[in-house]
Amino acid sequence: MEPFKVLTSRTVVLPQDNIDTDQIIPARFLTTTTKIGLGREAFYDWRYTPDGKTKDDFILNTVDADEHRVLVAGRNFGCGSSREHAPWALTDFGFHAVVSTEIADIFTSNALKNGLLPVVVDEETHARLLEHPGEQVTIDLQANELRMGNHVVRFTVEPFSRECMLEGVDTLGWLIARVPTIEAFEREHAA
């Protein structure tokens, strides 16, 4: 995982509330056994017609993903399933951060493990972001700040996940180092 410190990029706005994981990546693409290449299938049914034609007017088909790393979405983003394919698809597409007023629990946990920063902001900031699609924003994880012109808001990220993101380290290694303590727990609790 790449360390995440400060990200300056343009936004893509998907204003819908309750964008669920079936929209982010439809279930029929979950038969993959790798994490690679899922960006192709991100928002598939919103990007393509049933017969596979690109919908030219859909925002994700018009932007240059390299310049639009921040997804701004409506309330309750990422609800639904626990599929980590959702953040894999979003990061593979090019996103490094998702901003909303509310982001689902399991999605948040999955995103943080994949270098995709979930940023929860207040209604007012959210409304400004929705009104200015394509705006350049800076998401500063070191300062816990989102900056948009003169508008600055603070956000919070679960401290341990934040540390892991800043350092670009995986939590698995940390847990593996705990195995002796885990073994002691097991001995103590074996009836």
Partner 1 sequence: MNTPKTLYDKVFDAHVVEPETVERPAVLYIDLHLVHEVTSPQAFSSLEALGRKVRRPDRTVATMDHSTPTLPAGPDGERPYATADAKNQVRQLERNCAEHGIRLYGWDSPERGIVHVIGPELGVTQPGMTVVCGDSHTATHGAFGALAFGIGTSEVGHVLATQTLLQRKAKAVRITVDGKLSKGVSAKDMVLAIIAELGFGGGTGAVLEYAGEAIRALDMEGRMTVCNMSIEAGARAGMIAPDAVTLDWLRGRQEAPKGAEFDKAAERWLALASDPGATFAREIRLDASKIAPMATWGTTPDAAIAIDAPVPAAQTAAARKSLAYMEVEAGKPLAGQPVDVVFIGSCTNGRLGDLRSAAEVFRGRKVAPGVRVLVAPGSEQVRRDAEAEGLHKVFLAAGAEWRLAGCSMCIAMNGDQVGPGQLAVSTSNRNFEGRQGPGARTILASPASAAAAAVAGCVADPRPYLDTAA
Which residues of this protein are in contact with partner 1, per CB under 8 A? 15-18, 20, 22-23, 26-28, 30-35, 45, 50, 74-76, 79-85, 87, 102, 104-106, 109-110, 113-114, 158-160, 163, 171-172, 175-176, 178-179, 181-182, 185-186, 189
Rank residues 69 and 85 by Cβ distance to partner 1 and give the closer one.
85
Distance from C-alpha of 40 to C-alpha of 71, rounded to nearest angstrom: 16
Rank residues 40 and 151 by Cβ distance to partner 1 and give the closer one.
40
Compute the least distance from the CB of residue 68 to partner 1, in Å. 22
- Among residues 112, 86, 104, 146, the alpha carbon closest in space to that of 1 is found at 112
Pairing between β-strand 145-148 and β-strand 136-140 as defined by DSSP bridges: antiparallel
- Per DSSP, helices labelled H in the chain are 21-24, 44-47, 85-93, 105-112, 123-131, 159-167, 171-176, 179-189
Burial label for 188, CB within 10 Å (0-12, 13-18, 19+), is exposed
Rank residues 122 and 163 by Cβ distance to partner 1 and give the closer one.
163
Rank residues 17 and 67 by Cβ distance to partner 1 and give the closer one.
17
Question: Which tokens sit at 122?
Answer: 């207040």
Compute the least distance from the CB of residue 85 to partner 1, in Å. 8
Compute the least distance from the CB of residue 131 to partner 1, in Å. 14
- Residue 111's φ and ψ, nearest 5 degrees, are -60, -45
Compute the least distance from the CB of residue 176 to partner 1, in Å. 6
DSSP 110: H
Rank residues 27 and 127 by Cβ distance to partner 1 and give the closer one.
27
Compute the least distance from the CB of residue 152 to partner 1, in Å. 24
